[in-house]
Amino acid sequence: AQSVTQPDIHITVSEGASLELRCNYSYGATPYLFWYVQSPGQGLQLLLKYFSGDTLVQGIKGFEAEFKRSQSSFNLRKPSVHWSDAAEYFCAVGALGFQKLVFGTGTRLLVSP
Amino acid sequence: DVKVTQSSRYLVKRTGEKVFLECVQDMDHENMFWYRQDPGLGLRLIYFSYDVKMKEKGDIPEGYSVSREKKERFSLILESASTNQTSMYLCASGYTFGSGTRLTVV
């Protein structure tokens, strides 16, 4: 069965500092991997996705993620965090040919001045 | 871009009521999904549909049903609402999510 682990429930980063959010997945075949962001009271916005090819994926809002098959990881990074990045971030895994997703429990990002 | 519209942002219903949550997408997608979001649990799949009049159970279907009479519309039904169904409900069409409906059952 597919599963996703986001080991950090909360992370606090100073504005302007770099960010890395961790995501580990368990899946028996080639995974489709996603990062979503959710602002309070809102739905989920897709930041980026990985299906195949280049393992470094660029997304919106200056985010990127790197797929590392050997570590079963898909960590999200941003070189310089802005106060508007404060939100909850979800990693998800899906299967080839389907679009239903399995989500991690999320990481809440707090940005300090 | 696909637009996914959920008809209500907030709903308050009484225990035992029949509740309909509506979701409409505008890009002729075949695949639509209903998820439930609870703190500390992430999103969990309730039901999904790959075509009109077709439905499949997700991970937590108990207490819910769905309807897909037209391709663009996918409805989630709570047959008899209970307080443990108080939650945020998110509809997705493909990989695009709606804004969510926060349902409170009192």
Q: Does A52 touch chain B (CB under 8 A)?
A: no
CATH number of the domain located at residue range(s) B4-105 in this protein: 2.60.40.10
CA distance A83 to chain B (A): 22
pLDDT tens digits for range B15-28: 999 999 999 999 88
User: What is the domain class of A3-112 according to CATH?
Assistant: mainly beta
Q: Tell me, what's the pLDDT at A96?
A: 63
Which residues of B fall within a CB distance of 8 Å from A101?
Answer: 33, 43, 45, 92, 95
Q: Average pLDDT over chain B, rounded to whole?
A: 94
Domain boundaries, chain B: 4-105
Tell me the average pLDDT across B38-67: 93
Burial class (CB in 10 A: 0-12, 13-18, 19+), A107: buried
Contacts of A1 (CB under 8 A, 6+ apart): A26
Higher pLDDT residue, B47 or A1?
Answer: B47
Q: Which residue has the tokens 């770099």?
A: A18
pLDDT for res A89: 98
Question: Is A99 at the interface with chain B, CB within 8 A?
Answer: yes
pLDDT at B68 over 90: yes
CA distance A91 to B51: 26
The confidence band for B53, taking pLDDT boundaries of 50, 70 and 90, is confident
pLDDT value, residue B89:
97
From A89, which residue of chain B is nearest by alpha-carbon distance?
B42
Query: A-chain residues within 8 Å CB-CB of B99?
Result: 42-43
pLDDT at B80 over 90: yes
pLDDT(B1) > 70: no
- What is the pLDDT, as a whole number, of residue A64? 98
pLDDT at residue number A30: 79
Residues 6+ apart with CB under 8 A from B42: A4, A90, A103, A104, A105, A106
b or e along B22-39 (b: 16 or more beta carbons within 10 Å of the residue's beta carbon)? bbbbeeebebbbbbbbee
A95 close contact with B: CB closer than 8 A: no
Residue % of chain B over a pLDDT of 70: 98
Q: Please give the biggest Cα pair distance in chain A.
A: 44
Instruction: Tell me whether A41 touches chain B (CB under 8 Å).
Output: yes
Residue ranges for chain A with pLDDT beneath 70: 96-97
pLDDT at position B103: 97
